[in-house]
Structure 1
Amino acid sequence: MHQRPIAGLPLVSLEAVHLNLASLAGEVNVLDGIDLQVAPGETLGVVGPSGSGKSTLLMVMAGLERPSSGRVAVAGADFSALDEDGLARFRRDHVGIVFQSFHLIPTMTALENVAVPLELAGHADPFGAAAEELDRVGLARRLHHYPGQLSGGEQQRVALARAFVPHPRLLLADEPTGNLDGATGRAVMDLLFDLNARFGTALVLVTHDDALAARCSRVVRVEDGKIKP
């Protein structure tokens, strides 16, 4: 069962989040005191120059990177109280992630790729639910095709279906149209916002495209690991 946030509370809360990583030039402050909240159902665009910390911010929200200090809470769960297995289960139940590179399993069909998170969660009918989700993204005739048999736009739609099939409370999208041509990218983003509206899933979108970010209900800019006013 999905853990719903308490009414009136943010779905995502980051408080004074720092992330320091070692490099040949010394310690780098990748995130430098981030304070950010995301409301349930909100669409948030994250913009900024390359290397500013945008993608790392998404990784922290997903529990894939642990901050050096500060607090991260999503859907009422404090990430500091969860071990790696607990974070993995939390992502399975609450978070969908879409990357620029589609990260599909090449030896699995579209149907099998989308069914994976449901199988891991013990869903009663993972393949039936996966087929329904692929139909929603316009791929009902491509269920049994492998990623190598699909176009880039079709692969990204499979990735979207996989991210949405558990109906997560939070969807994190990192440059999801970066490997697509303009028309295909716009079609994928239309689908992303449609799914967001249909399920009330909060969307955090990292993009270099200001016009795309402007479709979100709110935009924040990250520079040098900080959110700029």
Structure 2
Amino acid sequence: MGDTVLSLRDARLTLDGNAGPVEILKGITLDVAQGETLGLVGPSGSGKSSLLMLMGGLERATGGQVLALGQDLTTMDEDRLARFRMANMGVVFQSFHLIPTMTALENVAVPLELAGVADAFDRARAELETVGLAHRGGHYPAQMSGGEQQRVALARAAVVRPRILLADEPTGNLDGVNGAAIMDLLFGLRDRHGATLVLVTHARELADRCDRVVRLVDGMVAEPVAA
């Protein structure tokens, strides 16, 4: 494996709940190497998605340190975090998060347009072709199946050629056939762009394809094991 691209040191997350503060993550120390595929597994409520959000700067640690590509995410303001994510990360969610008023092509082009890339639509079109949806570029999310929407979401995450790819239950809303296709695409994107992939999953077959699996229980790392 290459250099460390994600490094957490005693990372903690405490959120305010109705009955007072709730400890979501209780001191996570973890390194992820360049080009590694890391699976985060564990029961519901164990903190898997929260840990992924810390890695992506989508949630701010309330203690400890989170480094991505040598940059301390815990000291960045929202604007710097957004710029850093746009330049270095792709994020895929279980619920797709496509913009309903935009076509598939427009959705994929969004991060490139925000970054001021001149050939945004050409690159977006090429990425849609990679996920097998060149013919659906003019369709809106409501006109596509769940599997197609997740393919668009994958294309949008990959189009910036991210160094870090984060996926939160990417097959969770899909049937077996579509889930298997998304798995293949996800690992294909990783291989094509040389990205480091961190994914949260309940699917054993997806975890089995990872280089390493870390199990979370009650906001703590229970057992890092080889996949």
Q: Percent identity?
A: 64
Paired residues for 1:200-219 under 5 Å: 200-219=194-213
Larger mean Cα displacement after TM superposition, 116-125 or 76-85: 76-85
Q: Secondary structure at the match of 2:4?
A: coil
Q: Secondary structure at the match of 1:189?
A: helix
Distance 2:184 2:41 in 1: 19
2:60 to 54, 57, 66: 66
Paired residues for 1:182-221 under 5 Å: 182-221=176-215
Could you say which residue in structure 2 is the equivalent of 1:4?
Answer: none
Could you say which residue in structure 1 is the equivalent of 2:25?
Answer: 31
Distance 1:102 1:33 in 2: 30
RMSD: 1.1
Could you say which residue in structure 1 is the equivalent of 2:79?
Answer: 85
Q: Which amino acid counterpart does residue 89 of structure 2 have in structure 1? A: V
Could you say which residue in structure 2 is the equivalent of 1:149?
Answer: 143
Distance 2:41 2:74 in 1: 27
What CA deviation, in whole Å up to 9, does each residue of 1:60-106 have, x standing for no partner? Answer: 01111111110111011111331110000001011111000011011
Q: 1:199 Cα deviation (Å)?
A: 1.1
* 2:12 counterpart of 1:18: yes
Could you say which residue in structure 2 is the equivalent of 1:3?
Answer: none
Distance 1:42 1:224 in 2: 25
Could you say which residue in structure 1 is the equivalent of 2:216?
Answer: 222
Q: 1:168 Cα deviation (Å)?
A: 0.5
Larger mean Cα displacement after TM superposition, 202-211 or 127-136: 202-211
Q: Secondary structure at the match of 1:115?
A: helix
2:34 to 37, 40, 63: 40
Q: Given that residues 2 and 35 in structure 2 are in contact (C-alpha distance below 8 angstroms), is that contact kept between their aligned partners in structure 1?
A: no
* 2:9 counterpart of 1:9: no
Instruction: Give the number of aligned pairs.
Output: 223
Q: Which amino acid counterpart does residue 33 of structure 2 have in structure 1? A: A
Q: Secondary structure at the match of 1:92?
A: helix
Paired residues for 1:86-125 under 5 Å: 86-125=80-119
Unaligned runs of 5+ in 1: 1-6
Q: Which amino acid counterpart does residue 68 of structure 2 have in structure 1? A: V
Q: Which amino acid counterpart does residue 37 of structure 2 have in structure 1? A: T
Q: Given that residues 39 and 198 in structure 2 are in contact (C-alpha distance below 8 angstroms), is that contact kept between their aligned partners in structure 1?
A: yes
Q: 1:22 Cα deviation (Å)?
A: 1.8
Could you say which residue in structure 2 is the equivalent of 1:127?
Answer: 121
Distance 1:21 1:107 in 2: 33
Distance 1:112 1:52 in 2: 36
How does the TM-score come out when normalised to structure 2? 0.96
Poorly superposed stretches of 4+, deviation over 2 Å: none
Q: Secondary structure at the match of 2:117?
A: coil
